[in-house]
């Protein structure tokens, strides 16, 4: 048999196999479309309480390589007083294993289904016009053979102004840049993840109040089965000016990031939080930059009663096995033009909750470590800047006066305490190094060892 004949035969077999897989995929899509849309609707409604979203399909037409269906998405207000049609168009679901639409997007892994969509003038003529007579939103939905569903949506930049009667409530102008939104997870959405990116936003009112941000990123991951939640949030630039309504100085942040994660375990909640900021301006004052790192273990859920975002995690928490709680402030660091402020602390305590937090029982503390370096010059500059945010500069006289007042107040309050010293080398400030272990008969304070009893006697200074 000639090689060319063999090659043609192989291609024919592969082609027939691909058609068979695509046809089977089409049957699976047809059978699972109802369940997929039900799960998707449930997940969308679980993310907010303002409206009730309904997603339905009709007029299905299944082919070998694609399925055509009509998708309608409506949102009904909580009071059922109004209904908005968000989408009402025919869509084409491309069958796998290698949908051409997916290959065009650079996705080469096998996909069961791939659906591309975009807003039309018919669905929302106002947004169509604002986007420059083109689709305001485009995106795709893909379903892998491992039942992982991904939804991606990208919107066009638009400008809204109160010159349009529909947006008089703005009392100004809103410039909204491109928005990228993504949701992914298995079909049951037991492990969903959410991602939101806004490249820029500028809202300015006629009275002068203004909010601007650049490159806002929000990433959330949830594991309902293992009671896990993780969030990563950041913004490159944030500017807030509310002088007209609050008479407060402007606030500007540069490269602000906050990440945190929590897990519910039988021994209590575990998690950590990291915060970093490259620059913080208050009015005309450059306040500095800083970082904060926190880790907790065995924490009672009562301390998070106001965190609605993780209420599902708290509801499942069983605190009956909590024996001790560790709170570790790994780092709190702030730097300004006068130097550095540093603080770290670790406390390991038994039976800690909202009811026992104020108990004065030293025997409950298994470990306590503190390290504080707070130069008067750093604190004095911070206080002076807060008191005079609109000053062009803080003078040496202002700094010296604030430092003198600070030294006087702290020495009056803490001069009898063995826990602090007011000098470290040539630097004046508040300094403390403490290491306490319940199992140790001695306590180390600022490099000196004293008996535990002497330490306890000096706690009520």
- Put residue 83 in one of left, alpha, beta given phi > 0 → left and psi -120 to 50 → alpha: beta
Asked whether residue 445 is domain-assigned, the answer is: yes
The pLDDT tens digits of the residues spanning 418-443 come to 889 999 999 999 999 999 998 888 89
Q: Identify any residues that bridge with 367 across adjacent strands, giving them in sequence order.
A: 348, 437
CA–CA separation, 402 and 383 (whole Å) = 7
Residues spanned by the domain of 288: 99-122+131-457
**Domain count along the chain:** 1
Helix (H) or strand (E) holding 411: helix 396-414
For residue 206, count CB atoms less than 10 angstroms from its CB and return exposed for 0-12, middle for 13-18, buried for 19 or more.
exposed
Asked whether residue 355 is domain-assigned, the answer is: yes
Asked whether residue 34 is domain-assigned, the answer is: no
Asked whether residue 188 is domain-assigned, the answer is: yes
CA–CA separation, 385 and 286 (whole Å) = 8
Asked whether residue 201 is domain-assigned, the answer is: yes
CA–CA separation, 352 and 359 (whole Å) = 9
What's the confidence (pLDDT) of residue 357? 65
What's the confidence (pLDDT) of residue 370? 95
Asked whether residue 10 is domain-assigned, the answer is: no
What's the confidence (pLDDT) of residue 342? 98
Contact assessment for residue 264 and residue 310, using Cβ atoms and an 8 Å cutoff: no
Contact assessment for residue 210 and residue 252, using Cβ atoms and an 8 Å cutoff: no
Asked whether residue 274 is domain-assigned, the answer is: yes
Which of 158, 229, 218 has its CA nearest to residue 191? 229
Q: DSSP class of residue 63?
A: -
Residue numbers in the chain where pLDDT is lower than 50: 1-25, 461
Q: What is the pTM of this model?
A: 0.82
CA–CA separation, 423 and 447 (whole Å) = 13
The pLDDT tens digits of the residues spanning 222-260 come to 888 888 889 999 999 999 998 877 888 999 999 999 999
What's the confidence (pLDDT) of residue 9? 34
Residue with tokens 């009671």: 227
Rg (CA), the chain: 30
Asked whether residue 45 is domain-assigned, the answer is: no
CA–CA separation, 90 and 70 (whole Å) = 4
In degrees rounded to 5, what are phi and psi of residue 376? -60, -35
The pLDDT tens digits of the residues spanning 34-64 come to 666 776 677 666 666 667 778 777 777 766 6
């Amino acid at each position: 048999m000639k090689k060319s004949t063999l090659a043609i035969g192989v291609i024919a077999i592969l082609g027939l196999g691909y058609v068979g897989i695509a046809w089977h995929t089409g049957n699976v899509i047809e059978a699972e479309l109802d369940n997929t849309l039900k799960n998707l609707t449930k997940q969308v409604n679980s993310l907010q309480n303002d409206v009730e979203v309904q997603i339905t399909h009709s007029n299905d037409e299944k082919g070998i390589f694609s399925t055509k269906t009509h998708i309608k998405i409506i949102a009904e207000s909580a009071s059922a007083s109004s209904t908005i049609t968000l989408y009402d168009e025919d869509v084409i679901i491309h069958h796998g294993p290698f949908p051409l639409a997916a290959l065009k997007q650079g996705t080469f892994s096998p996909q069961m289904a791939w659906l591309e969509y975009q807003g039309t003038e018919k669905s929302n003529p106002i947004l169509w016009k604002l986007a420059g007579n083109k689709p305001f939103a485009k995106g795709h939905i893909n379903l892998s053979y491992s039942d992982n569903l991904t939804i991606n949506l990208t919107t066009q930049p638009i400008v809204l102004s109160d010159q349009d009667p529909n947006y008089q409530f703005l009392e100004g102008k809103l410039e909204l840049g491109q928005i990228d939104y993504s949701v992914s997870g298995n079909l049951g959405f037991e492990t969903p993840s959410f991602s939101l990116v806004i490249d820029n936003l500028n809202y300015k009112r006629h009275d002068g109040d203004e909010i601007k941000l650049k490159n806002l990123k929000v990433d959330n991951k949830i594991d309902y089965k293992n009671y896990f939640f993780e969030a990563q949030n950041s913004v490159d630039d944030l500017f807030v000016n509310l002088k007209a309504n609050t008479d407060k100085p402007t606030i500007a942040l540069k490269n602000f990031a906050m990440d945190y994660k929590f897990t519910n375990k039988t021994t209590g909640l575990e998690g950590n939080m990291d915060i970093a900021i490259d620059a913080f301006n208050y009015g005309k004052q450059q306040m500095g930059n800083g970082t904060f790192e926190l880790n907790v273990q065995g924490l009672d859920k009562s301390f998070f009663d106001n965190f609605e975002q993780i209420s599902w995690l708290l509801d499942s928490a069983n605190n009956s096995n909590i024996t001790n709680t560790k709170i570790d402030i790994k780092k709190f660091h702030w730097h300004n033009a006068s130097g550095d402020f540093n603080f770290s602390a670790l406390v390991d305590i038994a039976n800690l909750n909202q009811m026992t937090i104020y108990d004065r029982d030293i025997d409950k503390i298994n470990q306590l470590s503190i390290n504080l370096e707070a130069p008067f010059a750093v604190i004095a500059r911070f206080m002076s800047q807060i008191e005079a945010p609109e000053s062009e500069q803080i003078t040496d006289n202002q700094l010296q006066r604030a430092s003198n007042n600070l030294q006087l107040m702290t020495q009056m309050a803490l001069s009898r305490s063995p826990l602090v010293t007011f000098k470290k080398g040539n630097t004046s400030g508040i300094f403390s190094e403490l290491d306490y272990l319940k199992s140790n008969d001695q306590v180390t304070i600022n490099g000196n060892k004293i008996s535990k009893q002497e330490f306890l006697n000096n706690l009520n200074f």
